[in-house]
Amino acid sequence: MHNPTSANPLSATSVTASVQERFADGANHIAGRLTKGTSGRTHAVVDPATGAEVYTYELAGTDDVDAAVAAARAAFPGWSGLTPGERSDAMHRFAAVLDEWAEEFARFESLQCGKPIKLSREFDVPGTVDNTAFFAGAARHLQGQSAGEYSGDHTSYVRREPIGVVGSIAPWNYPLQMAAWKVLPAIAAGNTIVLKPAELTPFTSLLFAEAAVAAGLPEGVVNVVTGAGRDAGEHLVGHPDVAMTSFTGSTGVGKRVAEIATATVKRLHLELGGKAPFLVFDDADLDAAVHGAVAGALINTGQDCTAATRAYVQRPLYDAFVEKTAALMETVRLGDPFAEDTDLGPLISHVHRDRVAGFVDRARAYARVVTGGEAPDHPGAYYKPTLIADAPQDSEIVQSEIFGPVLVVLPFDSDDEGIALANDTPYGLAASAWSTNVFRANRATREIKAGCVWVNDHIPILSEMPHGGYKASGFGKDMSAYSFEEYTQVKHVMFDNTAVVRKDWHRTVFGDR
């Protein structure tokens, strides 16, 4: 373990005191105020870097979900009745408050997730502020098909209308960004929302809802209920007053969510798991690929749905790639998330760390652990950056989502084989191709079945561009104008222009021409 040398005024202890004070009134945010959950059960948020309990709260139950949905329903007519310009102004103010509170957001995010503070400060929080500013602008730019006289006797046009109350469920890996990706397009389009964050990570979703109120968004537009998936989550998905379910999480839970949402005929948006391939052709810049692989595999301790997880390297570069990637992984500094010079924090929990270790331990029977493959001697849920070689394509370590700092590397010979291997898992969220030959890279972008393909990079995201899956990674897009459209429904409006009583088409029902 790396021991930070810099004098650091920040500590988990001071941030723990801040969250305890900030959320003393509970871990739900309903109709503009914090409330305690009424499920009768409590949950302790644990700092994964130390194992210490930092905040114990009453979990939301079905009554709390009902109260949040009622608040969102009550706020809907007023919020959806604003002009796009008025909603846009409110959301610009929201972006300004988020920016003002940026340091508090970064600290809370790092405490609950164990994320290095530099990642929270430089990625999660500014990304969220930028997303908010983007959707403030998008609120004024809903596109519809143009109006016209398509029959000759009528004028038709399209209205894009909000759907109503949206129920959203988010995972623990990027709690703030996932909250933002759900809430922002929904409210920009005039919907109101009830968000259920993961039980492990409530703080920044709650702070996000408080920032909305501080920015002047009407109470009830953004509500948060922090409860268990099987209880509060399922109740939210099946709720008759919720018109749309938007879910980000694992493919297994996504299937269950889809079943419940389908039974109540809801609009559904699913952002699910990933197992991103990282395809290195033999003309690639090897050092760039090695740096890209280590950053792409280890960001957020590998708990990233788009993380590079399967590196396929063309045979001439394979040995050098394995050696250099292992060497670079060994320089990554594990440590206190609040130390400025920590590169890698712990996994989200000890349970998850043991799950990741289980995948690696089982892989020893059929593959080679080149580096890592163990937890350091530390009370936190840390796991060393791990590189695994020589695993068969159909093995568990290559096919399953591990969600930890584990990269598997496999060789390939022909370009056809590399692309086929890249496509050979149930998932299709993201991928990257590494080559200095524009034709090869371009072919990979066309033939890889994934919602995002990077060329000579892996991970960057943009507010303007869509994020979402193919195949078992789900459907629906987050961010960008595409996601905005998903939170609206399209209505055809048709005016008769003739004032004729007996119209020509009536003869198909009565009389002759």
**Residue nearer to ligand NAD on the CB measure, 274 or 411:** 274
Q: How far apart are CA 357 and CA 374, in angstroms?
A: 7
Beta carbon of residue 30, minimum distance to ligand NAD (angstroms, whole number): 17
Beta carbon of residue 311, minimum distance to ligand NAD (angstroms, whole number): 18
**Residue nearer to ligand NAD on the CB measure, 279 or 450:** 450
Q: How far apart are CA 84 and CA 89, in angstroms?
A: 9
Q: Where are the alpha helices (DSSP H) in 146-196?
A: 175-188
Which position has the token pair 């394979």? 318
Between the CA atoms of 49, 50, 55 and 59, what dihedral angle is there, to the nearest 10 degrees? 70
Nearby residues of 253 by Cβ (< 8 Å), 6 or more positions away: 229, 247
Phi-psi region of 304 (alpha: psi -120 to 50; beta: other; left: phi over 0): beta
Beta carbon of residue 306, minimum distance to ligand NAD (angstroms, whole number): 8
Secondary element (H or E) of residue 242: none
Report DSSP letters for 403-464, one per residue: -SSEEEEEEE-SHHHHHHHHT-SSEESEEEEE-S-HHHHHHHHHHS-SSEEEES--S---TT
Collapsed DSSP state (helix, strand, coil) of residue 400: coil
Beta carbon of residue 259, minimum distance to ligand NAD (angstroms, whole number): 10
Alpha carbon distances (Å) from 256 to 102, 161, 223, 227, 478:
35, 28, 23, 17, 21
CB-facing half-sphere around the CA of 255: CA atoms within 13 A: 5
Residue 177 phi/psi, 5-degree rounding, is -65, -35
- Residue 457, number of CB atoms within 10 A of its CB: 12
Structure tokens at 101: 């509170």
Which among 278, 244, 274, 248 is positioned nearest to 261, based on CA atoms?
A: 244
**Residue nearer to ligand NAD on the CB measure, 273 or 411:** 273
* Contact yes or no for 192/73 (Cβ under 8 A): yes
Which position among 271, 330, 396, 417 bears the catalytic label? 271
Residues that bind ligand NAD (CB under 6 A): 169-173, 178, 196, 198-199, 229-230, 233-234, 237, 248-250, 253, 256-257, 271-274, 305, 401, 403, 429, 469, 473-474
* Whether 271 is catalytic: yes
Q: Which residue is nearest to ligand NAD (CB)?
A: 229
* Contact yes or no for 220/32 (Cβ under 8 A): yes
Alpha carbon distances (Å) from 439 to 417, 436, 442:
16, 9, 5
**Residue nearer to ligand NAD on the CB measure, 415 or 486:** 486
Structure tokens at 263: 């039974």
Beta carbon of residue 113, minimum distance to ligand NAD (angstroms, whole number): 11
> What are residue 432's DSSP bridge partners?
278, 454
- Residue 423, number of CB atoms within 10 A of its CB: 17
Between the CA atoms of 344, 176, 408 and 360, what dihedral angle is there, to the nearest 10 degrees? 70
List the catalytic residues: 271
